[in-house]
Amino acid sequence: MNKNNDASEFDYVIVGAGSAGCVLANRLSADGKHSVLLLEAGPKDTNLWIHVPLGYGKLFKEKSVNWMYQTEPEPGLNGRQVFQPRGKVLGGSSSINGLLYVRGQHEDYDRWRQRGNAGWGYDDVLPYFKKAENQQRGDDKYHGTGGPLPVSDWRHHDPLSEAFVVAAAETGIPTNPDFNGATQEGAGFFQTTTSRGRRASTAFSYLRPAKARSNFACRNLGAGAAHSVRRAARHSGRIQAGRPPALGAGAQGNPGLQRRI
């Protein structure tokens, strides 16, 4: 990828090239002052169905790009295990998910702040959401333009979905044109993380710009699913890093890595 790809000493090592890892890699390498290595257990995002928005149905149980997690047997479900798809590919779950752009409830962020997490209230995080966005509808109180992440409206009109929204309004449910605006309550149409009809994963939006930088390198470990996380942990240990590794392996992968690094 660049001259740093075969190096063994870096200022930062990031384990996991998922939604968080790709953003970290972009931000930490942006000023050109620090060398950054990004490690990913899965393959490159070359699978055609990753980039076709409707292709997420093809990837839901595609082992080559999916960790295929299962929950423990659930007592409340008569012992049934629940399938938990998670991305194992550049871009992580942002490369295999349903593409919906949904930030979350304002109140959830405010509750984090109320519990002592300073800087995590909705008003605190909103500027960062706006900074990340390249919103098709333009800049306003809740949205930004010029960021790396494309956010788009549907490219086609679906009469059945439109009838559903109208029916919801007739029953008293408010029509909501923007689930990432003033409130999430209501029925309406989601926006998606797409650009010109193609998926805009974090690998597309954040990692591609970083690939051209001489201070950045990305290595796909390509190990089998059963050993990839452990191998990523061991691999980072063989590389000299100026700081402790940054973990971007997701809610399921990070706890295992923390026990091994």
Query: Which pLDDT belongs to residue 226?
Result: 39
Q: What CATH number belongs to 106-192?
A: 1.10.1220.110
Residue 147 class from Cβ within 10 Å (0-12 exposed, 13-18 middle, 19+ buried)? Answer: middle
CA distance 177 to 189: 7
CA distance 16 to 220: 10
pTM to 2 decimals?
Answer: 0.87
Tens of each residue's pLDDT in the chain, 261 residues: 455 556 678 999 999 999 999 999 999 999 999 999 999 999 999 999 999 999 999 999 999 999 999 999 999 999 999 999 999 999 999 999 999 999 999 999 999 999 999 999 999 999 999 999 999 999 999 999 999 999 999 888 899 999 999 999 999 999 999 999 999 999 999 999 999 999 999 999 999 999 999 999 999 986 543 344 455 555 555 666 777 888 888 888 888 878 776
Query: Which pLDDT belongs to residue 256?
Result: 81
Tokens of 15: 């384990």
Largest CA distance in the chain: 63
The identity of residue 172, as a single letter, is G
3-state class (DSSP) for residue 184: coil
3-state class (DSSP) for residue 28: helix
CA distance 229 to 251: 13
CA distance 48 to 113: 41
- Cβ(215)–Cβ(36) below 8 Å: yes
CA distance 101 to 94: 10
CA distance 188 to 101: 13
- Looking at the DSSP bridge assignments, the partners of residue 87 are 66
What is the DSSP track for 73-93? PBGGGTTB--EE--B-STTGG
Tokens of 239: 């590389």
Query: Which pLDDT belongs to residue 225?
Result: 38
CA distance 210 to 28: 10
CA distance 64 to 42: 8
Domain boundaries, the chain: 3-51+87-98+201-258, 106-192
Instruction: List, in sequence order, every beta strand (DSSP E) within 21-86.
Output: 36-40, 69-70, 83-84
Query: Which pLDDT belongs to residue 57?
Result: 93
